[in-house]
């Protein structure tokens, strides 16, 4: 396919996503099945165009003066990829399989349009109803925080210290030119290709042998700050696919015992293969079994309970840009209720002096600071361990992170703009 044909396909897919309100991954998969002639390179390039367009949907529509899929893609080429009007016109020449030629109005918009007068939610590319809650946290910087969330996410790896050292893993992946993480001593970052495509890391021998895992540096930081004690008893209550379970096992050097649980058996399914590949031996997977309480015997025994809480995922918009346009206030309300229920349950597993690490990939105070304040009102036997006491777990990088992160009495928040990671909130509490 020509670059122009790829752009035309991307416009069609963005319009389908908008009209159907389906996840973009599903729409892209359906498009690929019905267009078998498109090779893997074509599908990758089209997907990159679509994701970049959705990242900047609001600002592109503002620039172009309309919200069509065509306007979103044209505006993105100007705002996100830095193409001038002649380069965009060359892609839209009206030839077979190419988008129609630019109109005079489109040319004018692309030549002279700007975001100078755009409201914060447009300049920051997020839904208007989220402007007020983001203003509570970020004030006048909310548009800049949102714009950082509209950039592409990097590819971060975590070195599995059960099988390799950071130096050994970096050597094995030298052809990908990895750089050390800024904060996590376990992180390696690999630059994306110009079109946003990531190298096929899962085919690398270092990945196949379990020496590295794909994990955002912010997620790595969260597990390190939770400080799972070697030889201790740890419950990962919302383990999902097991990313933080695996990291905790390495931080504990395969000692003690970790119990991995998730209420959704489907989310938990990948953990078994990942544990085997990583060489983890200190994890028991407690899969849900109908109405049976598979965690009843753990009450009051845990040194650490990790709650990687289900949330709106506002901190992961770089990776899931369509999600920010599908989120609704009702979904936030449901998540807040679910988080409160999980926190209350988690408290019962801790022994005196045990710690509760509450983690979200959200930037909204309702899911973060307000959730912790409400928990403390319900559970008087808990106190927040100040971030100043948890951040030193990162070594010297922790001191720098204290200045970069948004630190609040309830915990620390990481954002793409401040820390170059996905958005994460991390709060560590202690039971009296």
Active-site residue numbers?
Answer: 361
Q: Name the burial class of residue 135, with classes exposed (0-12), middle (13-18) and buried (19+) by CB atoms within 10 angstroms of its CB.
A: middle
Closest by CA position to 258, among listed 226, 289, 290? 226
Q: How many residues does the chain have?
A: 432
Distance CA 371, CA 271 (A): 28
Cβ count near 357 (within 10 Å): 27
Contact in structure between 28 and 49 (CB atoms under 8 Å): no
Distance CA 53, CA 11 (A): 9
- State which H helix or E strand residue 158 sits in: strand 155-159
Distance CA 98, CA 100 (A): 6
Q: What angle do CA 243, 181, 282 make, to 5 degrees?
A: 30
Tokens of 100: 């129609």
308 is in an annotated binding site: yes
Scanning 279-432, the segments in alpha helix (DSSP H) are 321-326, 329-347, 369-378, 387-390, 396-404, 416-419
297 is in an annotated binding site: no
Distance CA 253, CA 274 (A): 16
Please, which contacts does 401-404 make with residues 24 or more away whose CB atoms are closer than 8 Å? 401/183, 401/221
Q: Which residues are annotated as a binding site?
A: 262, 308
Q: Which residues are annotated as a binding site for S-adenosyl-L-methionine?
A: 262, 308
């Amino acid at each position: 396919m020509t670059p122009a044909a790829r752009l035309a396909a991307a416009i069609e897919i963005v319009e389908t996503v908008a009209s159907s309100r389906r996840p973009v991954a599903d729409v892209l998969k359906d498009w690929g099945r019905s267009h078998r002639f498109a090779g893997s390179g074509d599908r990758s390039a089209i997907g990159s165009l679509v994701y970049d367009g959705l990242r900047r949907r609001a600002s592109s529509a503002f620039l172009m003066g309309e919200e069509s899929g065509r306007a979103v893609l044209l505006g993105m080429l100007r705002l996100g990829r830095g193409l001038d009007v002649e380069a965009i016109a060359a892609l839209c020449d009206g030839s077979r399989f190419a988008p129609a030629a630019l109109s005079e109005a489109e040319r004018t918009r692309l030549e002279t349009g700007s975001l100078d007068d755009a409201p914060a939610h447009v300049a920051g590319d997020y839904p208007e109803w989220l402007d007020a809650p983001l203003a509570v946290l970020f004030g006048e910087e909310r548009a800049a925080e949102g714009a950082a969330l509209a950039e592409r996410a990097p590819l971060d790896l975590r070195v599995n210290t059960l099988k390799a050292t950071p130096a050994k893993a970096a050597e094995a992946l030298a052809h990908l030119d990895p750089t050390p993480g800024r904060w996590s001593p376990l992180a390696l970052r690999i630059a994306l290709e110009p079109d946003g495509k990531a190298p096929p890391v899962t085919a690398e021998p270092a990945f196949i042998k379990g020496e590295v895992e794909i994990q955002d540096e912010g997620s790595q930081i969260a597990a390190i700050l939770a400080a799972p004690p070697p030889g201790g008893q740890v419950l990962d209550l919302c383990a999902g696919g097991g990313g933080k379970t695996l990291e905790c096992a390495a931080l504990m050097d395969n000692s003690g015992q970790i119990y991995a649980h998730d209420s959704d058996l489907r989310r938990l399914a990948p953990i078994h293969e990942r544990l085997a590949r990583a060489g983890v031996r200190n994890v028991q997977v407690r899969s849900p079994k109908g109405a049976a309480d598979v965690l009843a015997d753990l009450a009051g025994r845990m040194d650490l309970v990790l709650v990687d809480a289900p949330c709106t995922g506002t901190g992961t918009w770089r990776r899931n840009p369509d999600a920010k346009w599908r989120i609704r206030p009702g979904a936030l309300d449901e998540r807040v209720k679910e988080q409160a229920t999980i926190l209350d349950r988690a408290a019962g597993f801790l022994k005196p002096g045990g710690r509760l690490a509450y983690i979200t990939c959200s930037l909204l105070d309702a899911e973060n600071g307000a959730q912790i304040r409400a928990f403390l009102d319900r559970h008087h036997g808990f106190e927040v361990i100040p971030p100043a006491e948890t951040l030193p777990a990162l070594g010297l990088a922790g001191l720098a992170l204290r200045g970069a992160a948004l630190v609040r009495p309830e915990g620390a928040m990481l954002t793409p703009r401040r820390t170059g990671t996905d958005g994460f909130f991390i709060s560590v509490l202690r039971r009296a």
